[in-house]
Structure 1
Amino acid sequence: MASGPTLRLQVLGPLRMWRDDQEVDAGPRQQASLFALLLARYGSPVRRADLIDMIWGAEAPTSAVNVVHKYVGALRRLLEPDLPPRGASSYLVRRGDGYMCATGPAVLDLARFQTLTASARTAVGQGMPEVALDRYVEALGLWHGPAGDRLVHSPGAAAVFTGLNDEFLDACTASTETAVACGRPERVLPPLRLASSMAPLHEPVHAALVTALGAAGQQAEALAVFRAVRLALRKDLGVDPGPLLERAHQRVLRQDLTPAGTPSPVVLTTPGTSTVVSPGRDLARDSLVGRSGELAVLRAGLDRAAGGGSGLVLVEGEPGVGKSRLLDAAAAEADDGHRLVARGRCTTGEGAPSMWPWMQVIRQVLDDVDGQERAIWLETGLGAILEPQDEVPARPVLSTGTGQFRLFETVVALVAHVSACRPVVIAVDDLQWADNASLQLFGHLSSRLPPGVLLLGAVRDRAPVPCADLARILAAVSRSPGHHRLRIGPLGVHDVAELVRLETGQVPDPDAARALHLRTDGNPFFVQELARLAAGAGPLTQEAVARAGIPATVRDVVRDRMAGLDGDATRLLEIAALIGRDVNLNLLAEAAGLDAATCLARLDLVQALGLATTLPDDPYSVHFAHDLVRQSVSDATPARRAARLHLRIADALERTHLQGSPLRSAWPIISGRPDLSPIRRVPPPRWCVLAAGPPPSRRSTWRSSSCGWRRRSAGLPVSRRRSSGRCPS
């Protein structure tokens, strides 16, 4: 990408943009909101459906898709006035069924902020606090108010910008420790004052401000800040300051704020790696990289339940994207002694009893009730769930009728009884594996949530595709008051680098981070596994990432999913994997010897298992969800069968060329990209010749010679007889 040196973009505060030092208006309100969202998610594709939801919510017009397309076109012209019609933009690029802002620290303030804060954390770990403080101060100075300020945000968009604000607040608190240790607390006072105005009830920020003011010799102002935030906490939330704020207050009173009084970082070591942890750091939350916006939504739900309200948050996303980790982080934050946290997990397989996740949840809720009351609750019908014989419920759980309704109402009454004493958080993971009775109870409770209860659920959006029962419950849940659907997407390049640092102890250079992101599409599970494999051989470089094979864990997951395919679908998937990441449907059907309808029918199961899919804007292509998945399928194909399939693909490519779309069909093979071109033994220039075809006058000669070359490239024997001009099948 050609970075425009004269372009500057600001989203840390009001949205602003400059070209040649002249400020440019971002356009109408909704267009500006779309631009701010793309900037906030720079480096990561944002689906068109997500953009529509975040801009309009439930009031999206029927023309929303066209409006988004118009806004993107207008923004491209603002960013690059010299861009020719239908020219490829350097900044707003199309990715699948969405768009991505492709920019970096030289242009976008958010990118520079995240780069500087990552560098500051690295400097702290290397024992260079002065360097770290310089980086922190420069990073924090980029903020001019809440991210995306002065724009009207829907709940979905608000979560994105709240996540960015949380990054600022976290950096402020981290920089305070470093500034006090260096004896320069005054350097972080301006950003701390801004942070305290943005988050008037955020105790860690106010504790940092009190500490920095006291260390800077401004004890009177420090005590005034403490009194003001204590009053606000009591008035707005009905609580007293927490231990962190009280500790900062006591340090000011004792004047114990010298650099020597600052605790030293703790170094956690594992073989070959070390991770520096600041005092009080929450390891579980820190390892949840790139999810600050999602955590902000869950925190808002926790606060709502603590204040006597209720809420429902449903987390969805592809396998490995971090849904369970997000629920773990929310549960860890809620488990503060004041709330009851009850968790249940659905499981796949034949052995799980009916209502298994609710057996786990109800047991934990009943543990909060004294013995005599517990016995009474068990007699109301809950014993059918909680007193199994030989791991099977003592009585069958009714799936229909008034009996089921009475049982579900009993569960609601139990939860209401406990939540009247303290807030309750119920989290049910892996809803895609839930039995029908468990789904029905989840839907019933979501429609009858008592005050003081936050209900959390996590579900895959693919592999498998939601069944009819699950789809029906999800539709009913979406109509519940206070419902929030939280879709987790892939990580951006910056977050991939941070996750790798936490996972391996190595800081990947930008090229290595981009290579990891390219091979994994930002899926956290794939990133962690591939990073471990690549880092095991030495320094984590771009070359190491390229040399790394398929992690065994990823291969096992793919093979497990492939076990659900029949022989015909498996062979079709193998052919697609050998062609490339994006496969033309006509080429695939031709290589498999199928008509288009049969090919599509066999792909249905492949799509249901999340192995490959078609894109909404290109229904004539098959797209592998991740290149690691494609490579796993390709590597699992026996060598002899792969050789024969290579030849069939070559024949099909030639036939589809003669029917008229050579470059589109051949592109995955002739692109020359080793990570996208599995037919590595075939030189890309020869495929260009094959795709383009010979001059008519030399067609027969070309056909016979290319046939021999194709057989050699596929590792098959070549006859020495003079060719008749026919290419054997």
Structure 2
Amino acid sequence: MTGHEGPAVRFAIMGPARVWRGEDEVDLGPVQQRALLALLMARAGDVVSTDEMTTLLWRGDPPADPVNAIYRHVGVLRRLLQPQLPVRSVGRWLLRESSGYRLAADVAAVDLLRFRDQVRRAKQLARAGDAEQAVTIFREALDLRSGAAASGLPTDIRAHSAFAAIDSEYLAAVKHAADAALACAVGPAMVPVLHRVAAEHPLDEAVQARLVLCLAASGQRAEALDKWHEVRRVLAAELGVPPGAELRAAQQKVLVGTVVPAEREGAAYAGAPPQGEAPPTEGVRAPGFSAALAPRPSDSSAGVRVVTRPAQLPPDLAPFAGRQRELDLATGFLSLYDGSGATAIVAIQGMAGVGKSTTAVHWARQVAHRFPDGQLYVNLRGFEPGAQAVDPGDAIRVLLEALGVTADQIPAALNARVSLYRTLLAGRRILVFLDNARDAVQVRPLLPGGGGCLVLVTSRDRLLGLAAVDGARIIQLGLLSDTEARELLTRRLGEARLAAEPAAAADIIATCAGLPLALALVASRAAARPRFPLSAVVAELRGSRHGLLDTLRDRDPMGDLEAVLSWSYDALSRQAARVLRLTVLHPGPDITRSAVASLAGVGVREADRLLHELVRTNMLVEHRPGRFTCHDLLREYAAKRIAHDSAAERSAAGLRLLDHYVGTARTAAHLLSPWWVEAEPMEASAGVVCEEFADAGQALVWFSAERVVLRELVAHAARKGAHGHVWRLAWAMERFLDRQGHANDAVKILGAGLSAALREGNRSAQAHLHRALARANTRLGRHGTARRHIRTSLTVFAEIGDSLGLAHAHRCHGWIMDQLGRYEASLGEARQALVLYRSLGNRVAEISALHALGWTHLLRGEPRLAEGYFARSITSIKAYRDPYAEASAWYSLGCSRQEMGQYDAALECYRTALAGYRDGADHYNEATVLDRMGDALRALGDLAAAHRMWGDAIDVMAQFDGAATDAVRAKRDADSVPEAGLFG
């Protein structure tokens, strides 16, 4: 105990891993951190070894020092649980033991410990003969669970034995509770729990038998026998076996009537109205109300009334796979409406072929028992071939007929139909499944008026209006992960077939790119040819000259991938369909609004409108703010469609796209380096819209996001012979590529630019690109190539009389000499550059040359002399408001002071430089500064702080330079950190 505990902390592992401090839920951070705490919760009170943690977190591919990584996670978790904890304190909850860690929590703090305590008490009561009180305690224990243990974590993590054991423990408790309930004639109390658990364990005969008996005990004898036959069919289909002795005994008890139904009075079974309340439909006599819907006496002497109970859910998909996160999310949404009096609306939306209806049916069958008055279903045909979307009035007619209203009793007017529909559903608990909706306007009249119902909607539309106006909870169904895709193939083809050809299975998953329909079609073809190796299936998929869409054609439109995609495409407006086609001219992986506007030759406002339509119908996805992408198979579909556009239209759009990127890159380059020489502009085509940036930071973010696009465009333009675009793009990218450490990309792009400049005969561009290539090759250690480029650059600049370009080349040559350790030569080149800059009156360039001289002196072991140059640079550059140059000068000053042993002064300089680089989103130099700060802190003896700095540097640097990352990691790992210092 430390005295810094703060609000009470509660832990939950019987469902998603969650923690609360007081009333506030704690954000547990990234997956590995959540998984680590989940394991400690699952083993609450016991020591978890670091070996077991390593296995859980890294599954056979641990980092070089997993113990240190675990220490870091534990340190973060301690401060999440107790934010006010002093730095060197261990805290209340996560205690270090000799071989690992332990969650030190009492019964009241952890749901799993409370569950175990209550189950123990309930069993004692049952053994003592107080079965009724035992059931009460059992129910309290069972209600602590909100889902599978550690749900929400990746499947491979949830498969750990600690989490599986919790689920098994819960299952055993359910069986004990059911036995106790049946023993004291309160079996109906267990029906809701058994329904849910039986759906999770369809092959567990002990659970299914208890559900059958409890249904019969609640007076639902027919439902009990239906459930028995359903289980028999599942066992035959899945295992090829008949029901076992326990299930047969349960059926026999129901048939001969030895299960005595509990009295209605005081029974707490699903669907029973509270004492004194009328049955659901009693007293509801709306105009046109059918006698079929009215309660009618049964043959039972008890006088139990029954009503028409529709059961229209489509059949579940036997080999259903994946989607556990989405299923848990839907169930979580549903629980929010319990007792609220509001109708629950859950909408599942996504692109064509992503499995919306399949997932919805699977989930609907899991929760159907919570709606004892039945299930309604209607296909609204929002996106189907050759069919108009179902009119809401016609849809209500279908629903009314399912409720027993005869054709002559259905009103003609839509408002009257809606009124009758909502009157009939009032007071009932019914699941209404609206499949394949076109939009919110089509769905809204079909919503029940009162609470207690669930409306489940699927659509390719985003249904944002349904969420905003009607309170629908939207679940975006994305592509399957590789793990889920493999599970789907396993369910359809068998584990043995996939295990025999793992590479071919991986190829199928990659080719289908996570689209469930594509995977299902490929699996069905493979299943139809069981003697064919999977490698033959892969060869067929890749060998088609016309792409995957033609390979997966079928006579049945529902099994034809291209046909399914066409239904969404055909529903688009003409302009939006054109934009979708034109996006295939863009190399990807994503595209911005301005680029779309340029491609289509429209304004940004019109591009926004068309993009909204494409996103709303899930043809495009806005995966990051302002950046849009689409599935590979949709891209293949659009490519087939654009073949029908004229060559002139495609060529004009492609030219506008190149003009867009040349113009935007030139603007961004000028912001990044306002004093650098710009390439001569070119006139853009009509309709081109370039990006606009507020500052250098935004320009750098754009370059970083578009780097892959620009690289592909350079190659594409070179193939098309657009030489002016190629060398201008290369020139504009040079400063960004150098500052961000993308030397390999720089060599390729600048090399393509130089080739284009040579073909076009532009001498100025040739000289600039030779100089840029000299710098890029030096970054890669190719000094011979670099020196050839810089000599050519110097020669061409001199021949064309470009004094400023010549000065830049001399300065670059001096930097190259620095890298080779030839400091006298470097000083000579920097002085030549300085003379030229001064002759041109270029004060900013003159300051940069002085800065270069300072670095050469620093490298020569003259830090005090270097310090004078750097200090002068800082004083001079402030007048020109160049944040990058100022940050660089502060960094250099810090280096000189560190070399003189002035570590505290160096850290002050580094902090100023770090702020400047971060303001400009210059992550490459940010990482460099963090690395240096770690060195300075290490020299001051603060090893814990040094490790933090190096760790931050590694996190930032990893995206740029693998070799530099490895060097910093090796430096960090060379020293051990005392656990009591940083991690407690």
Structure 2 length-normalised TM:
0.38
Structure 1 length-normalised TM:
0.49
Structure with the higher strand share, 1 or 2: 1
Q: Which has the bigger relative contact order, CA under 8 A and spacing at least 6?
A: 1
Please identify the structure whose Cα radius of gyration is greater. 2
